[in-house]
Amino acid sequence: MNIRLAIACLVTALGLTPSWPVSAADNADRVRQAIGSAADFDKARAAGKKAAFFCVNCHGEDGNSTYDYIPNLAGQNAVYLLNQIEKFADGRRQDEFMSGLIKVLKPEDRFNMAIYYSGQSVRPAVGNANPLASRGQQYYDRTCKACHGAQGYGNEKIARLAGQQPAYLKKALEAYRAGTKLRNDPIMGSIARRLKDDDIAALAAYIPTMK
- The residues that touch ligand HEC, with contacts defined as CB under 6 A, are 52, 54-55, 57-59, 70-71, 73, 76, 81, 84-85, 93, 95, 97-98, 101, 105, 113, 143-144, 146-148, 157-159, 161, 169, 171-173, 183, 185, 187-188, 191, 203
Helices vs strands, H then E, count in the chain: 12, 0
Identity of the residue, 12 or 143, whose beta carbon is nearer to ligand HEC in the bound complex: 143
- To ligand HEC, the closest distance from the beta carbon of 140 in angstroms equals 6
- The answer to whether the CB of 115 falls within 8 A of the CB of 48 is yes
- To ligand HEC, the closest distance from the beta carbon of 63 in angstroms equals 9
Identity of the residue, 76 or 130, whose beta carbon is nearer to ligand HEC in the bound complex: 76
- The answer to whether the CB of 207 falls within 8 A of the CB of 164 is yes
Rounded to the nearest angstrom, the gap between the alpha carbon of residue 116 and the centroid of all alpha carbons in its chain is 13
H helices present in 62-165, as ranges: 78-90, 98-103, 107-118, 133-139, 145-148
- To ligand HEC, the closest distance from the beta carbon of 20 in angstroms equals 19
- To ligand HEC, the closest distance from the beta carbon of 123 in angstroms equals 16
Identity of the residue, 18 or 189, whose beta carbon is nearer to ligand HEC in the bound complex: 189
Identity of the residue, 70 or 133, whose beta carbon is nearer to ligand HEC in the bound complex: 70
Most distant pair of Cα atoms in the chain: their distance:
58
Identity of the residue, 10 or 151, whose beta carbon is nearer to ligand HEC in the bound complex: 151
For 171, residues 6+ apart whose C-beta sits below 8 A from its C-beta are: 69
- To ligand HEC, the closest distance from the beta carbon of 12 in angstroms equals 17
Report DSSP letters for 167-189, one per residue: HHHHHHHHHHHHT-TTB--HHHH
State how far the Cα of 69 lies from the Cα of 90, in Å rounded to an integer: 23
